[in-house]
Amino acid sequence: MDQQLYLKYLKEFTLEALEEAEDNVARAADYIDKIPKPKFFIKDSKEKKAALSRVKKVFTSSRERSLYVVLKSLGFDELAKEKL
């Protein structure tokens, strides 16, 4: 798996969910649950599936936590500081 692509998709899914949910973790988790899994024949599907799975896991298990904690869990330290 290409780590650079994985991180790109991880950030893409995270930012998309936060934009749709207006930085609310619970609403972002609901939004992420509605995103369909990438199909097998889509370019970079392995990286997209792994990134989406990670984002879903972190957001759904952290519904009650602050946005800062969720972003730190995903490894987005700079973004977490911005959103404070």
Residues 6+ apart with CB under 8 A from 44: 2, 5, 9
Query: Do the Cβ atoms of 79 and 68 come closer than 8 Å?
Result: no
The per-residue pLDDT for range 3-49, each reduced to its tens digit, is 999 999 999 999 999 999 998 999 999 999 998 887 767 777 888 99
pLDDT tens digits, one per residue of 44-75 = 788 899 999 999 999 999 989 999 999 999 99
Half-sphere exposure of 31 (CA within 13 A, CB side): 17
- 34 burial via Cβ count (<10 Å: 0-12, 13-18, 19+): exposed
Residue 81 is predicted with a pLDDT of 86
Residue 2 dihedral angles phi and psi, to the nearest 5°: -85, 115
What pLDDT shows up at residue 46? 87
Residue type (1 letter), 72? K
Query: What pLDDT does residue 75 have?
Result: 92
